[in-house]
């Protein structure tokens, strides 16, 4: 019997149950998904070795020589099956840590991937006995999960790596949902990622970039619009744990050669060309941190203060000249809101005729002062292509509505398309699926947005193409209700009918009270 994606999910949930109540979801996902990664490596490696044995008729010399050319290397003492056999060992946590280090040492592509994970931490797992029990149980949760590629049930056109990768991403999303804002910051809901990928439509041989890539789910969704093996994938992530998740996620999806960097993409962008300038990308996608406070602190690494004013200290203030890449020549965003800092960073990375999609809070559309001046400059340069308002409560950890901004260089028109996907359609149905805790977009809703985007025409209560003159008339304020009228007239109330209903209810209430009085007298009250 072949392993299905549901089988993989069940094992992952079993692992979650092993840690539930001991570690919060934002943390234990790292241990569970790392164990899945180790099991995937073990089963895949075993299958590869068996194939070599068949190919070379069990000739040990030729097999050993051929093993060096496999996609990754393992030793017996760093494999899952070795750890499982040692599950009762009093030092099982240290053995798992050793296996992780061994995997990194043997495979340069995976170096540093487990740096934030410690299976031997009593601070995480409890005392030695509790820790060993939980780790033994975790190994037992995974032992019967067969991740051999040939034994994975796939759909037409699907690979085994994609099945495992989809399960991996599913659990990242589930953990993000459980953990709220702490984990949700690193994960974009799948259908939002799908929408952004289809809006930017990457093609083979193009390069895709995400400066706040989190677990790389958005990058992968975008890249899947083309052939995963024929696009260049680039990302940067400041959070070490999310950076590790991204690299594991890409590896499980059989994506090799992706350039994922660890660091602050604003203060220290790491994707540069041979001349030290910002590398140019065909497609950029991002679900960046909303209104990041103190976004410019990285430009002042020593924490120095300016004491030039008669001995008085002046707090650090970001200036455009501090950025050697000239990303803020159009204006410096306020210190407390980094939204436009990320957008200007991405525009600096966007090549001629490139396209870019970014999730932003609505404040980006209308806030004034320096943000207003930046917004005006970007519009006057004809870089903004579309504004798409999304329903509220789509993202993990926040209920606030967001929107997607589409930017393009060298546009042939100077208008801006506005789409309001947060309301109701012509039949009065919401343009989203309403959930108990979280709303979602379906394929139908995505299709409606894409159709409106590509048609680029006015649709009542849904889409409007605003001329530059109209934008200027609104003082460059991009608040969607200024351009898409979704006001619903309330039905007229028949006052006479309401009064009749009130009178009827009063009569019925009096009868009930009289009956109640009768019952009370009968029982002597």
Q: How far apart are CA 32 and CA 258, in angstroms?
A: 23
Of 59-63, 162-166, 204-208, 275-279, the least confident: 162-166
Which is more confidently placed, 158 or 10?
Answer: 10
* Mean pLDDT on 63-75: 93
- The reported pLDDT for the residue numbered 371 is 97
How do residues 276-306 score in pLDDT, each as one tens digit? Answer: 999 999 999 999 999 999 999 999 877 766 5
**Separation in Å, CA 337 to CA 294, 340, 342, 376, 392:** 8, 8, 10, 17, 21
CA-nearest of 305, 310, 378, 314 to 341 is 378
Angle at 68 between CA 66 and CA 73, to 5 degrees: 125
Q: Residue 175 above 90 pLDDT?
A: no
| Residue 22, token pair as written in the block | 């001991």
pLDDT the model gives residue 209: 98
For 439-461, how does the pLDDT look when each residue is reduced to its tens digit (9 = 90+)? 889 999 999 999 999 999 999 99
CA distance 353 to 426: 35
CA distance 290 to 371: 14
Half-sphere exposure of residue 315: CA atoms within 13 angstroms, side-chain side = 4
pLDDT at 176 over 50: yes
Give the predicted TM-score (pTM) of the model: 0.86
pLDDT for 40 beyond 90: yes
Q: What is the mean pLDDT of residues 243-261?
A: 92
H or E stretch including 232?
A: strand 232-237
Check: CB of residue 100 under 8 Å from CB of residue 110.
no
Of the pLDDT bands very low, low, confident and very high (cuts 50, 70, 90), residue 434 is confident
Q: Are 207 and 234 in contact (CB under 8 A)?
A: yes
406 near 388, Cβ under 8 Å?
Answer: yes
Per-residue pLDDT at 25: 64
Please, are residues 30 and 171 in contact by the beta-carbon 8 Å criterion? no
Helix 160-179 to helix 25-55 angle (10° resolution) is 170
pLDDT at 93 over 70: yes
Residue 226 and residue 202: Cα distance in Å, rounded? 6
| 67 exposure class (CB count in 10 Å sphere: 0-12, 13-18, 19+) | middle
**Percent of the chain at pLDDT exceeding 70:** 93
Contacts of 75 (CB under 8 A, 6+ apart): 102, 106
Yes or no: say if 420 and 427 are a contact pair by the CB < 8 Å rule: no
Taking a C-beta distance cutoff of 8 angstroms, is the pair 224, 203 a contact? no
DSSP state of 312: E
Mean pLDDT throughout 41-59?
Answer: 95
* pLDDT score of 55: 93
DSSP state of 390: P
Specify the pLDDT at position 309.
Answer: 47
Higher-confidence residue of 23 and 273: namely: 273
| % of the chain exceeding 90 in pLDDT | 70
Angstrom distance (rounded) from CA 447 to CA 420: 14
∠ CA(281), CA(278), CA(201), 5° rounding? 10
Ramachandran angles phi, psi of 336, nearest 5°: -90, -5
- Return mean pLDDT, the chain: 90
Q: What does the pLDDT look like over 323-379, one tens digit per residue?
A: 999 999 999 999 999 999 999 999 999 999 999 999 999 999 999 999 999 999 999
* Cβ atoms of residues 259 and 230 within 8 Å: no
Band of the pLDDT at 182, cuts 50, 70, 90? very low
Structure tokens at 363: 């404040």
In the block, tokens 């939980």 appear at 134
pLDDT digits (tens, 9 = 90+) for 7-18: 999 999 999 899
Tens digits of residue pLDDT in 190-248: 899 999 999 999 999 999 999 999 989 999 999 999 999 999 999 999 998 889 989 99
pLDDT at residue 498 tops 50: yes
Compute the distance between CA of residue 436 and CA of residue 185 in angstroms, rounded to an integer: 21
């Amino acid at each position: 019997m072949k392993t299905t994606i549901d089988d993989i999910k069940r094992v992952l949930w079993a692992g979650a149950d092993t840690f539930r109540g001991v570690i919060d979801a934002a943390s234990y996902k790292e241990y569970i998904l790392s164990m899945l990664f180790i099991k995937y490596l073990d089963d895949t490696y075993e299958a590869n070795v068996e194939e070599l044995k068949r190919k070379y008729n069990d000739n040990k010399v030729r097999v050993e020589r051929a093993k060096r050319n496999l996609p990754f290397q393992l030793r017996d003492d760093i494999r899952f099956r070795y750890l499982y056999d040692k599950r009762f060992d009093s030092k099982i946590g240290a053995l798992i840590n050793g296996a992780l280090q061994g995997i990194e040492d043997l495979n340069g592509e995976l170096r540093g991937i487990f740096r934030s994970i410690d299976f031997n931490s009593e601070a995480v797992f409890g005392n030695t006995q509790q820790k060993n029990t939980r780790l033994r149980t975790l190994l037992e949760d995974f032992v019967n999960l067969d991740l051999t590629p040939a034994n994975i049930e796939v759909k037409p056109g699907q690979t085994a790596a994609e099945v495992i990768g989809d399960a991996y991403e599913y659990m990242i999303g589930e953990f993000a949902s459980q953990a709220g804002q702490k984990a949700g910051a690193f994960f974009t809901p799948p259908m939002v990622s799908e929408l952004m990928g289809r809006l930017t439509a990457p093609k083979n041989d193009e390069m895709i970039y995400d400066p706040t890539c989190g677990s790389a789910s958005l990058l992968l969704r975008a890249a899947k619009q083309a052939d995963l093996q024929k696009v260049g994938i680039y990302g940067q992530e400041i959070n070490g744990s999310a950076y590790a998740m991204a690299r594991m996620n890409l590896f499980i999806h059989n994506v090799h050669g992706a350039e994922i960097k660890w660091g602050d993409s604003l203060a220290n962008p790491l994707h540069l060309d041979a001349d030290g300038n910002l590398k140019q990308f065909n497609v950029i996608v991002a679900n960046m941190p909303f209104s990041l406070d103190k976004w410019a602190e990285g430009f002042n690494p020593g924490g120095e203060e300016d004491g030039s004013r008669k001995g008085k200290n002046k707090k650090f203030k970001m200036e455009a000249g501090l950025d050697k890449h000239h990303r803020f020549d159009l204006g410096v965003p306020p210190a407390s809101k980094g939204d436009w800092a990320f957008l200007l960073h991405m525009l600096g990375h966007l090549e001629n005729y490139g396209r870019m999609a970014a999730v932003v809070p609505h404040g980006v559309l209308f806030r004034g002062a320096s943000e207003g001046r930046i917004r005006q400059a970007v519009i006057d340069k004809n870089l903004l292509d579309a504004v798409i308002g999304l329903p509220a409560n789509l993202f993990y950890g926040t209920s606030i509505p967001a929107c997607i901004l589409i930017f393009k260089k060298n546009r042939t028109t100077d208008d801006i398309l506005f789409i309001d996907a947060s309301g109701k359609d012509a039949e009065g149905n919401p343009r989203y699926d309403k959930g108990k805790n979280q709303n979602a977009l379906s394929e139908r809703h995505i299709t409606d947005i894409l159709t409106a985007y590509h048609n680029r025409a006015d649709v009542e209560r849904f889409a409007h193409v605003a001329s530059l003159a109209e934008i200027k008339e609104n003082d460059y304020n991009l608040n969607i209700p200024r351009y898409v009228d979704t006001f619903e007239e309330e039905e007229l109330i028949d006052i006479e009918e309401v009064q009749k209903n009130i009178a009827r209810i009063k009569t019925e209430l009096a009868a009930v009270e009289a009956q109640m009085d009768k019952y009370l007298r009968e029982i002597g009250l």
